[in-house]
Amino acid sequence: AGALNQELNQRALENDGLSSELSALKEDAHHMSSELMVREDELNAKADEIAELEKELQRVHSMHQHERGVTVDLTQKLEDAKQRLQQTEQALGEQQKEWTSQAEDFKSRLAEAEGTIFTAQDAQDSAGTEIVYL
């Protein structure tokens, strides 16, 4: 009976030790659980921050795409305007050549007409008659 009693006391001491250890483990688990909740809150805050940054990045990317599109559009319009200007300059050059040719032709006909007038006046002076111009 004494050995049984001693074994029971030993087991009781072991149970008390295990009970204390279990309490300490429960306290550690509670502490870890609280710390995990804090970490989870921090992670959620970081996730929210990342989501905001992603939205901002998307907005900036959209603006960049728009600006790039505007730049491409403006570049195309500039190239079109340069091409139209070149075509206009070419057309004006051709028009100027035509006008110069017409002016030369007019000068030639004018000189011819003046020669005819002078010849007619000389003939009038020689003949003593008067030419009436209409």
The percent of residues above 70 in pLDDT, for the chain, comes to 87
- Distance CA(30)–CA(26), nearest Å, equals 6
Flag whether the pTM goes above 0.85. Answer: no
pLDDT of residue 85: 95
Closest alpha carbon to 132 in 70, 121, 48: 121
**CB of 120 closer than 8 Å to CB of 131:** yes
Q: How many residues does the chain have?
A: 134
Say which range, 6-15, 24-33, 61-70, 110-119, has the weakest mean pLDDT.
110-119
